[in-house]
Structure 1
Amino acid sequence: MKKFSNRSIVFVFLMVIATMTLQAQKAPQDMNRFIDNLMKKMTLEEKIGQLNLPVSGEITTGQAKSSDVAQKIRTGQVGGLFNLKGVEKIKDVQKLAVKESRLGIPLLFGMDVVHGYETVFPIPLGLACTWNMAAIQQSARIAATEASADGISWTFSPMVDISRDARWGRASEGSGEDPFLGGEIAKAMVKGYQGNSMANKNEIMACVKHFALYGAAEAGRDYNTVDMSRNRMYNEYLLPYKAAIEAGAGSVMVSFNEINGVPATANKWLLTELLRNQWGFNGFVVSDFTGISEMVNHGIGDLQTVSARALNAGTDMDMVSDGFIGTIKKSIQEGKVSEETVNTACRRILEAKYKLGLFDDPYKYCDVKRPAKEIYTPEHRAIARKIAAESFVLLKNEKNTLPLRKQGTIAVVGPLANTRSNMPGTWSVAARLDKSASLVEGLQEVLGKKANVVYAKGSNLMEDAAYEERATTFGRSLNRDNRTSKELLDEALKVSANADVIIAALGESSEMSGESSSRSNLDMPDVQRTLLKELLKTGKPVVLVLFTGRPVVLTWENEHVPAILNVWFGGSEAAYAISDVLFGDANPSGKLTMTFPQNVGQLPLYYSHKNTGRPLSEGHWFEKFRSNYLDVSNDPLYPFGYGLSYTTFKYSNVSLSSATMNSNGELTASVTVTNTGNREGSEVVQLYLRDLVGSITRPVKELKGFNKITLKAGESKEVSFKITPELLKFYNEDLQFVCEPGDFDVMIGGNSRDVETAHFTLNP
C-alpha cells in the first residue's frame, strides 16, 4: 500500500477545499446564466404563468376551484400545482408540462405536509411539547422522505405563528406561545425538510407560514384583523419567522390578516422592507389560498387592483385566485405594474425549481418504485410511536393512579374511544384515515390476553348535532349515534360496572381545532361532562385521556378527576403510544408550550406578560385597585412549561459563575437536578431571564434556554446554561436590537412558575 506524507495529505485537503469553494462560487453563476437564457425565450404570458398556482386533487381549504388546468399547463400558464396525491398522477402531469408546453418548464408540486405524510406525527402543538429538537427534525425528515417519494417537492410547512389565545383553532398547527422555543423548532423543521441543500431526492422545499402575525387574530377568530405595535412584533412575534429564514427556508407563505391596515398579501413594508431588505430573504413568496382575491372583501380594490398591489408588494405566486394570470398583463399596459416586477417574481420561482434540481431532472421526485419502499414503513411508524409518547403531557396524577396495570377489566368509554379517522389530527391531508388504530383497538392489541378491554361510546361529541357536524368535517365523522343521551350513558355505566378502571376518551374531535375552527367556549362539551361526572360516581379509578388541539378549560376536571393525560392528536401511531404511556412502558415527559387558562375570560393568557403599574401582590388572589379579576385569580390552571412524570425531580439552588458580566463577556448558570422517584424519567430543564430595568417595559420572564435530560432513579446531574449578551438583547423603542446594562434575574426550573432564582448585573 502506497504511503503518503503529511505534506501530501495537507495538499490534497487544500485542493478539495479549493474545489468545493470554486463550486460554491460557480453554482449561483450557473443558475443565473441558465435562468437568464431561459427568460429571454419566455413571453410575458409565460412569465406571468410561472406565478400561477392553481389547486389540483382534493381541495382541503376554502371553496374555490380552478378549471381547465391541463390546458393552462400546455400554454405555460401554470407554475405549480398543489394537493395532487400520488406519484403516478404527478409524473403524468409533469410530463404534460415538460413535453407539451412550449418551453418545457417543470412544475412545482406542493402539499400541506404539516406533521407527516402517511406516517403521521403528533400535531405541531403536540410535537412542540416534546421540547426535543432532534425528534422534531427527524419527524420533518421522515415527512420529506415520504412526501418526496410520492412526487411532492414542496411543503407548506412549518407553521411558526405565535399564538397566545386558545380560542384560535390554528394554535394546533404551531408551536405555542413562546418565540424563543418557536424559533428553535422552526430551524429544526426547515433543516428536516430541506436537508443541507435540497439536492437529494428525499429533500423538499419548506414554506414558512403564515407571514406574519396570523396567530394574533382579534378575539381568536380565524382570518380576523391583527393590530399591534412594531415593537411588539419585533420582540414577541417575528423571531420564529426570522429563525426559519436564517435556516435557509426556500419559500414563505403570506398570512390572511391585515397588518397596520394593509392586508399582509399586499403589505410592501412586510414583504419587501422587512423580509427581503432587513432579513435578506432570497426565496419566493406565495399567497395563501385565494389570499389575493380575498383582499377585495378587505375593501382595498377590485381583483385587478389587489393583484397589482400584491405583486408590487412582493408576493411572487398567486395561489388559486387567478388574479395574476387574469389581470397583470392589463396592469402592465396601464402602467400599474412594471414588466421588471414580473421578471423579478418569475426569476424567484425559476430559481426555486433550479435549486430543487427540477431543470436537471423534472422527474426527480417521480420514481414510481419509491412509495412502496419509503412510505408508511415499519421503521417510520416506530419512530412516530416513540415521538408521540414523548409529546403527551401528564396534567394530573393523584395517588399515582397512573401507570395502570396490565390486568383485569378496563372500560374504555367516550366518543373519541373508537374512532380511527380522528387519531391523526387536523391537517393530516395525506393520511390514510382507515389505517390508524382507534384507542380501543390499540389498547386491545397492546394488552393482548393480559387484560379484558370493554367499550361503550357513552355520549356523542356534543348534544347539538349541527355543531358536531361542523366539528367533524373532511371525513372525520364520529358516526353520530341516534340513541338518546340517557341510553348512551346507561350503556356506558353498564359496561363500566364490572371494570377495574375506566379510561374516559374525551375532548375535542380533530376538526374542532385547525383552520376555521375557532371556539368561544373551551369547556368540555356538555354531554361529555355529564358522562364524566357519572363515571366518577361509580367510585372506580377514572383516567381522563384528553384529546385536544389547543389548551382547553379543565378547571372542573382538574378538581375532580384523579388522572389527566393530555394526548393532543398523536398521529397515525397515537393509539399505541397512548397505550405505552398508560401502562408505563413509556414515562410521560411532555411539557406544555401554551398556557391553560382557568376560564376563557382570561384569554389571551401567556407566561411572558408584562407588569402593570398596579400589579397584584405576590400570594394574593384579589386586591382592590390592582390588576386582577373579581371572579377568578390571575393564575393559569397549568402554566407554560408544565408537565408531570411518573417520577419526581428536585432542583437545587441556582449557582452563577459570577455575579457580574461585562457587555462582551458571559457567565454560566448551573443547577443540579435529582430524580427523587423510583423510576427513570426525562425532565425539561428550563432557563428564564428577566431584565429588571429597561428603557422600555420588559416581560416578567422570558425563556432563553432549555435542556432535556434523562435521569435514572436517584441520579443527579448538573445542568448548565451559558448566558451571553445576545440572550439579553431586545428591540428598543427605535427598533434597535440592544443589550442594556443593569440587573437581571436568572430563573431555572421545570416550568415557568416553579423556578429557582439568582441575580446578576450586566456592566456597561
Structure 2
Amino acid sequence: MGAISAPLVVVLLFCCLVSVSQAEYLKYKDPAQSLNVRIKDLLQRMTLEEKIGQMVQIERSIATPEVMKKYFIGSVLSGGGSVPKIKASAETWIEMVNGIQNGSLSTRLGIPMIYGIDAVHGHNNVYKATIFPHNVGLGVTRQVCIYLMNNNGHFFLDPVLIKKIGDATALEVRATGIQYVFAPCIAVCRDPRWGRCYESYSEDPKIVEAMTEIIPGLQGDISGNSRKGVPYVAGKNKVAACAKHYVGDGGTSRGINENNTLIDYRGLLNIHMPAYHDSIVKGVSTVMVSYSSWNGKKMHANHFLVTDYLKNKLKFRGFVISDWLGIDRITSPPHSNYSYSIQAGVGAGIDMIMVPFNFTEFIDVLHYQVKNDIIPESRIDDAVERILRVKFVMGLFENPLADLSLVNQLGSEEHRQLAREAVRKSLVLLKNGKSAEKPLLPLPKKAANILVAGSHADNLGYQCGGWTITWQGVGGNNLTVGTTILDAVKQTIDPATNVFYRESPDPTFVKSNNFSYAIVIVGEPPYAETFGDSLNLSIPEPGPSTITNVCESIQCVVVLITGRPVVIQPYLSKIDALVAAWLPGTEGQGVADLLFGDYGFTGKLARTWFKTVNQLPMNVGDKNYDPLFPFGFGLTTNPT
C-alpha cells in the first residue's frame, strides 16, 4: 500500500470535521433548543414520503419493525381487544412496544412513533389493570375542587377525584410502555338511547366541562406561563391525552350512533363545545374527530369546525386525529370514493389518520394528491408540525423506549382503593324504603339469612361493561382481576350471617327460606358504540322476573348495573330501595361499602331519569320536564 499524500490527508481530515460538525448541529435532537427550532429543523430535513408516514396510524398487529422503517409510520394503536397475547403482562406489552419503536428509531431521521390505546375507564385493554367506573358514574361525583386546611390554618388544594383517576391511569398505561390514550370522552349525551352514553359524564355541559380536570391528571399540570393551545405532557410518567369526539357526538337524532346532530350554531357552542375549550386551556395534546355529522355535514370533512374553529379560533396547536376508519366513512357506503375521502378529510384539517390496516393505499393516494397539487404540501407540513410538536413536548425523542420501572403500578392496591372510592361516590340512591319513615338502607350486617340474586351479582364482566379487555366487553369472571358485588357482600357481612345466592330464583325458593332481606343486582349486558343503541331501554330478562320474584315476597334493594337510565317505573312500587350503580368496574367492594353503611350515599344524578322512552330526548331545562327522577336527585344516608 502506497503512502497517502499530504493534500489527501488534509481533505480527509476536513471531511471528518465537516461530518462531526454536521452531527453536532442536528438541532432537532438537542433538547436545549427551543420547541419551534427543533420542529423547524426536523421538518426541513424530511422528504414527502417521511412526512406522509408521520400522518399514518396503523394497528399494532401489522406494525412490524420492517413496516415502521419502510413507510416511516408515525403512530401505532391497539384497537379494542388487540393485545400481544391473552392476559399479557406489563413486561410483554413493553417488549412489544419497544420492538415496534426500534423499527421507527432505525429510520434515517430516527423519529419515534407514538403508541395510542383506548384507556377510557382505566387501562381497560390490559389484564390486571384497575378498571374505574365508566364516565356515566364519574359524572355523579361532581368533584370540581376541594380545599383542605392544614395544621397551620392554611388551605391547600386536594387533587379532585377525577384528576387522581387520570394520574393513576397514566401510571398504569406507562407501566405497559404506552404513551398516548384516546381519552377523555367529553361528549354531552343528550339522549340515553345512544350506545355510547356511558362514555359521557353528563347531559349538562357544565359537568362535562368540569370533568376535563382528568386531563391534568393524565398529562400533568400545565404551567402558568404556557401558551394557550400548546400541548403539554409532564414527562415519562404521564401520557398524551385526547379529547373526543369532536364535536356534537352526544347530540345525534334519537341517540343513533354516528348519526346527524341537528342543532344551530349557538346550540353547538353552548352545549357541545365548552369542554373542548377547557381541554385546550388545560393543554390537551390531541383531539379526535367524531363519526357523526352536524346538520348533514360529516365532521371528518368539516373544514369550518376542524380548521377555522378548533385550530384557528381556539388556537389548538396539538394534532387532530381521525377515528377508526373515520376517513373512509365520509362517503356512504364507506370507502366507496377513497380519493375524495382523503382529500376531504385531510383538507378539513385532520392531521393523523387512523387507517388502521389499509395504510399503503392511503399513502399512495395522498402522495399522488400532493404531487398533483390536489392537496397543498403546506397542509401536510401543518399536520406533521403538529404531530412533531406533541412528540417533542412529551419527551419522546429523549425517552423513546420504555423500561420496567413502573410495572408494579399496574393494578396496584393504591389504585384499586382509589377506584373503590370512585365507586362509592358514583352511586345514586333513588329510593330508600316504601315510606320515608322506614328506610331499608343501610342494611344490617348481621342477619340470619340474606339472599343475593340477579344476573349481575357475580359477574365481573357485566360490572365493568363495554371497553373492558375487549371492545364490546364480555361477561363472566375470567376476563381480569377484581371483586364482584357478591364477593364484596360476603366480605362485608357478619360471619354469622348466611348468604344464599341464586342468579334467577323462583318465588317458591324466595318464600321458603325466611330471608331477612334481599339484594337484587340486575341490568344491561356489556356493549359498545352502535351495538348499544336502544330504542326501548328496557332491562333484559331475567332481570324484571328476578325483581318481581324476589321483591314481591321480601324486603329488597335493587342495584342497577347499567350504562344509562333504563325503564324502571313499572317495577318501582315493588322495590323497597333502588340504587343506580352504573358500570362500577373491578372494585365491587365500593358498592357494599354503601349498602351496609360503612359510608353514606352522596351521589346526585348527572342525567335525567325518564319515566318512559316516549319522553326522550328530555334534559334538564327542557319545557314540559317531567322525569321519574330529576337531574341532581339523590338521597343521602349517614354512615353507621
- Which digits, 9 at most, give the CA deviation of each residue in 1:571-599, with x for residues without a partner? 111x2111111100010111111101000
Query: What SS class does the counterpart of residue 500 from structure 2 fall into?
Result: strand
Query: Which residue, 31, 37, 54 being the options, matches 1:50?
Result: 54
Mark the runs of 5 or more structure 2 residues left unpaired by the alignment. Answer: 1-29, 85-92, 124-128, 145-159, 222-231
Aligned to 1:688: none
- Which digits, 9 at most, give the CA deviation of each residue in 1:102-149, with x for residues without a partner? 322111011111111211111111011011130111111110111112
Mapped contact 1:457–1:492 kept (Cα < 8 A): no
Are 2:579 and 1:555 aligned?
no
Q: Residues 380 and 226 from structure 1, CA distance in 2 versus in 1: closer, same or farther, beyond 3 angstroms?
A: same
Q: Which amino acid in 2 is paired with 1:507?
A: G
Mapped contact 2:119–2:182 kept (Cα < 8 A): yes
Q: Which amino acid in 2 is paired with 1:48?
A: I
Mark the runs of 5 or more structure 1 residues left unpaired by the alignment. Answer: 1-25, 58-66, 459-487, 612-627, 629-633, 648-678, 681-764
Written as runs of structure 1 = structure 2, the 5 A alignment for 1:527-542 is 527-538=542-553, 540-542=554-556
Query: Which residue, 265, 277, 286 being the options, matches 1:242?
Result: 277
Written as runs of structure 1 = structure 2, the 5 A alignment for 1:342-361 is 342-361=380-399
Q: Residues 559 and 289 from structure 1, CA distance in 2 versus in 1: closer, same or farther, beyond 3 angstroms?
A: same
Q: Residues 640 and 298 from structure 1, CA distance in 2 versus in 1: closer, same or farther, beyond 3 angstroms?
A: farther
Provide the identity percentage.
32
Query: What SS class does the counterpart of residue 82 from structure 1 fall into?
Result: strand
Residue 29 of structure 1 deviates from its aligned partner by 6.2
- Which digits, 9 at most, give the CA deviation of each residue in 1:134-192, with x for residues without a partner? 01111111101111121111111110111111101211011111111111111x11111
Query: Which residue, 107, 113, 117 being the options, matches 1:111?
Result: 117
Query: What SS class does the counterpart of residue 429 from structure 2 fall into?
Result: strand
Residue 604 of structure 1 deviates from its aligned partner by 0.5
Query: What SS class does the counterpart of residue 381 from structure 1 fall into?
Result: helix
Query: Which residue, 487, 510, 514 being the options, matches 2:526?
Result: 510
Q: Residues 157 and 515 from structure 1, CA distance in 2 versus in 1: closer, same or farther, beyond 3 angstroms?
A: farther
Mapped contact 2:236–2:399 kept (Cα < 8 A): no
Distance in 2 separating the partners of 1:300 and 1:151: 33
Q: Residues 199 and 527 from structure 1, CA distance in 2 versus in 1: closer, same or farther, beyond 3 angstroms?
A: closer
Aligned to 1:74: 69
Mapped contact 2:64–2:100 kept (Cα < 8 A): no
Aligned to 1:601: 614
Mapped contact 1:295–1:301 kept (Cα < 8 A): no
Mapped contact 1:413–1:492 kept (Cα < 8 A): no
Mapped contact 1:106–1:362 kept (Cα < 8 A): yes
- Which digits, 9 at most, give the CA deviation of each residue in 1:560-581, with x for residues without a partner? 21100111111111x2111111
- Which digits, 9 at most, give the CA deviation of each residue in 1:212-248, with x for residues without a partner? 0001111111111222110111122211111111211
Query: What SS class does the counterpart of residue 502 from structure 1 fall into?
Result: strand
Are 2:517 and 1:501 aligned?
yes
Q: Which amino acid in 2 is paired with 1:105?
A: I
Residue 508 of structure 1 deviates from its aligned partner by 1.0
Residue 27 of structure 1 deviates from its aligned partner by 8.3
Q: Which amino acid in 2 is paired with 1:535?
A: V
* TM-score, structure 1 normalization: 0.70
Query: Which residue, 443, 446, 453 being the options, matches 1:404?
Result: 443
Mapped contact 1:51–1:345 kept (Cα < 8 A): yes
Query: What SS class does the counterpart of residue 88 from structure 1 fall into?
Result: helix
Aligned to 1:62: none
Residue 341 of structure 1 deviates from its aligned partner by 1.0
Mapped contact 1:115–1:140 kept (Cα < 8 A): no
When structure 1 is superposed on structure 2, of 325-334 and 513-522 the one drifting more is: 513-522
Distance in 2 separating the partners of 1:235 and 1:378: 40
Q: Which amino acid in 2 is paired with 1:367?
A: D
Aligned to 1:146: 172
- Which digits, 9 at most, give the CA deviation of each residue in 1:266-294, with x for residues without a partner? 11001011101111111100000100011
Residue 198 of structure 1 deviates from its aligned partner by 1.6
- Which digits, 9 at most, give the CA deviation of each residue in 1:687-706, with x for residues without a partner? xxxxxxxxxxxxxxxxxxxx
Residue 514 of structure 1 deviates from its aligned partner by 4.8
Mapped contact 2:257–2:529 kept (Cα < 8 A): no
Aligned to 2:559: 545
Query: Which residue, 190, 207, 217 being the options, matches 1:181?
Result: 207
Distance in 2 separating the partners of 1:103 and 1:27: 16
Aligned to 2:462: 422
Residue 510 of structure 1 deviates from its aligned partner by 2.9
Query: Which residue, 513, 533, 540 being the options, matches 1:525?
Result: 540
Distance in 1 separating the partners of 2:307 and 2:464: 37
Are 2:134 and 1:123 aligned?
yes
Which structure: greater strand fraction? 1
Query: Which residue, 384, 393, 404 being the options, matches 1:368?
Result: 404
Question: What RMSD over aligned residues (CA atoms) do the two structures have, in Å?
Answer: 2.2
Are 2:213 and 1:167 aligned?
no
Written as runs of structure 1 = structure 2, the 5 A alignment for 1:344-743 is 344-363=382-401, 366-371=402-407, 373-398=408-433, 399-408=438-447, 409-429=449-469, 433-447=479-493, 449-458=495-504, 489=506, 493=510, 497-511=513-527, 514=529, 516-538=531-553, 540-573=554-587, 575-609=588-622, 611=623, 634-647=625-638
The size of the alignment, in residue pairs, is 555
Residue 505 of structure 1 deviates from its aligned partner by 0.7
Residue 28 of structure 1 deviates from its aligned partner by 10
Q: Which has the higher contact order (CA 8 A, sep 6+)?
A: 2
* TM-score, structure 2 normalization: 0.83
Mapped contact 1:162–1:175 kept (Cα < 8 A): yes
Residue 433 of structure 1 deviates from its aligned partner by 2.9
Q: Which amino acid in 2 is paired with 1:589?
A: T
Q: Residues 281 and 81 from structure 1, CA distance in 2 versus in 1: closer, same or farther, beyond 3 angstroms?
A: same
